[in-house]
Structure 1
Amino acid sequence: METFSAFLLLATGAILTSAQTGSLMYPYGTSQGDTKNNKIDDGSSAEIPISVAFTFYGKPYRALYVNNNGAVSFGVSVSQYTPSPFPLTIAKPFVSPFWADVDIRNGGDIFWRQSQDPSLLRRCTEDINRYFPRVPFTAVWAFVATWDRVAYYGSTSNKVNTFQAVLITNRQISFIILNYAGIQWTTGTASGGNAATGLGGTPAQAGFDSGDRINHYTIPSSRTSDIINIGRTTNVGVPGRWAFQVDEFVVPAPTESVECAL
């Protein structure tokens, strides 16, 4: 799994336009029973025990962390704010919808919950069946982590990002869905970014790393200025959404791969 050139050639063409991506987001917020992370720079949730094991590259995990800097991690929290390229040189298995220097002291909230609510599981099942039609699947558990209108470290602007990671399993097969409802900045000032624009320096990284230096995936444009457009990219034909099977390495080919005029 060290190279993914075939997938990258397909995915880099999948820059599509969308009038509204907010509808892609799974329900979140205190009205859904979500817990909020504390407003601490480079912080994370406490370790969150989960009721159903989530298998990530052959390893079943019974707990995870929601990290302020744009990642859901297994076994260890992640305080690092400047993203490193995958594969990581240290064993930190995690999913990163948008790994960057988030600072919710400057604005925004981070919500999370695990759920076995039938309506949520039905929506998860429908989405997975649509994107992975050859995999018989009925969701029994989901974890929804949402970074809602979050600011960046050192910000002197009103720019905010909203994105989400959804973990889904039927106890044997595991998936992640990454949703993007608005990306306005890529970098905090401690990563070399501009305080007024949230751009420059070392931009955000998106994808996942199993921690074994073998199984990993980097969404195209990560750690480049083009990551600002991640809300218009996809590997499943839906702008602003990426989906992966992660109990083993499977990346679906995009259903659309024609670049549209912006």
Structure 2
Amino acid sequence: MRISQHLLVFISVLSLTRAQTATVAATALESTVAPAENATTSAAEPWIAPAIFYPFRSAAGDTEHFLTGDESYESVALSTPYTFFGRTYNSLYVHYNGLLTFNQPEPASGPNYNPTRGAEDFIAPLWSDLDDMGWMGMFSYQQYTNGSVLTRATQDINQYFPQMNFTASWVFVVTWDYVDAVDMNSFIRHSAQAITFQVVLISNGSLSFFLINYGDCAVIYDQVEAGYDTINSIDHFVIPGSTNGYSVSNLRNTSNVNVPGRWAFSANSGLESIIGVQIRLTSFSDLTQSENIEAVLLRIKQDLFSRGLSSSIQMKLREVKKTQP
């Protein structure tokens, strides 16, 4: 008769992050988060951005760019170099179409579906032909090297990646805001349907991370995608549910860090982390047979992918410890 036992499995994971390493079962699980409140307000009330958003717009001292042309972008010189999966950049390109590229601007109006296996490093918080929607739109950005924003970024990264003992020295915040409005008052107050999202780049000079925050996201009747990709797609990820314009309104309820509307990622290559996964098996021999080991690792990897883990990671069994049931 077999006795059910608890085994603590230690797995070596390359390029693994805390945001993708919450204790998981060996079967794929669907993460659920509580729905956020609708941020759209009536014209008589001032609009308040979701609490997960970092400060933005002119009130925060941002540089603002209102939509001026089709497939337009702005080049931004970085005060501190930012390393994105092994490549270091001193500038980047912010596109009105919900895209941030590093090594070159992207001429396409809509997404080249990830993985592109192309020649670009990019973050696509919500890549679509937003500048052809006929809405009022803008993006704003600011770089920080001191103050409360760095304190907040440090706290966020240490919460999601606690093994790093991280202290932020530079933060870049860029926010896109589109409203189906024809006058500035309606735009500022979000008195019509809106699409608002944000990217936060965070670095300490050697380690790099980024956050994607979602507020209101109206239905998009065009191709759309959210995630990130790298040159030759060595590292890439697509946020689940982001490739259907009818379902992007739910992005504000999704997360890989149990914070509705927020996705957190490491942009570091070649890091090795050790995680413990507690699973229930029918016998100790279940993990002594190579075919069973590979099956268990595959199922764990699939679950971690769904929580934002880069597709390029490698996993191997380091140690198995038998614990009391």
Shorter-chain TM-score above 0.5? yes
> Bigger relative contact order, structure 1 or 2, given CA contacts below 8 A and separation 6+?
2
Counterpart residue identity of residue 108, structure 1:
G
Whether the 8 Å CA contact 2:219–2:247 is kept in 1: the answer is: no
Q: Match of 1:18?
A: 36
Structure 1 length normalisation: TM-score? 0.79
Q: CA deviation at 1:28?
A: 0.3
CA RMSD of aligned residues (A): 2.9
Unaligned runs of 5+ in 2: 1-13, 15-19, 39-48, 182-191, 272-303, 308-325
Q: Match of 2:45?
A: none
* 2:208 equivalent to 1:174: yes
Q: CA deviation at 1:82?
A: 2.1
Q: Distance in 1 between matches of 2:27 and 2:248?
A: 14
CA distance 1:105–1:56, change in 2 (3 Å): same
* 2:262 equivalent to 1:245: no
Unaligned runs of 5+ in 1: 153-157, 192-201, 255-262
Q: Distance in 1 between matches of 2:163 and 2:226?
A: 26
Deviations along 1:87-117, one digit per CA (max 9) or x if unpaired, are 1132121111111111286213211111113
Larger Cα-atom Rg = 2
Percent identity for Structure 1 against Structure 2 = 34
Q: CA deviation at 1:239?
A: 0.4
Whether the 8 Å CA contact 2:123–2:229 is kept in 1: the answer is: yes
Moved more, 107-116 or 129-138: 107-116
Whether the 8 Å CA contact 1:69–1:79 is kept in 2: the answer is: no
* 2:140 equivalent to 1:111: yes
Q: CA deviation at 1:8?
A: 11
Q: Distance in 1 between matches of 2:234 and 2:212?
A: 21
CA distance 1:150–1:8, change in 2 (3 Å): farther
| 3-state SS of paired residue (2:232) | coil
Q: Distance in 2 between matches of 1:74 and 1:135?
A: 25
| 3-state SS of paired residue (1:238) | coil
Map 1:1-262 onto structure 2 (within 5 A): 9-10=28-29, 12-19=30-37, 22-39=50-67, 40-45=69-74, 47-103=75-131, 106-150=135-179, 158-187=192-221, 191=222, 202=223, 204-224=224-244, 225-248=246-269
Q: Which structure is higher in strand share?
A: 2
Structure 1 stretches of 4+ moved >6 Å: 249-253
Q: Distance in 1 between matches of 2:141 and 2:270?
A: 25
Q: Distance in 1 between matches of 2:28 and 2:119?
A: 28
CA distance 1:150–1:44, change in 2 (3 Å): farther
Moved more, 218-227 or 233-242: 218-227
Q: Match of 1:198?
A: none
Whether the 8 Å CA contact 1:108–1:149 is kept in 2: the answer is: yes
Q: CA deviation at 1:211?
A: 1.9
Moved more, 205-214 or 237-246: 205-214
Whether the 8 Å CA contact 1:176–1:245 is kept in 2: the answer is: yes
Whether the 8 Å CA contact 1:87–1:216 is kept in 2: the answer is: yes
Whether the 8 Å CA contact 2:218–2:248 is kept in 1: the answer is: no
Q: Distance in 2 between matches of 1:43 and 1:56?
A: 23
Whether the 8 Å CA contact 1:109–1:148 is kept in 2: the answer is: yes
Aligned length: 231
Counterpart residue identity of residue 108, structure 2:
Q
Deviations along 1:4-29, one digit per CA (max 9) or x if unpaired, are 9x99944x433431236701100001
Q: Which structure is higher in helix share?
A: 2
Whether the 8 Å CA contact 2:213–2:262 is kept in 1: the answer is: yes
Structure 2 length normalisation: TM-score? 0.65
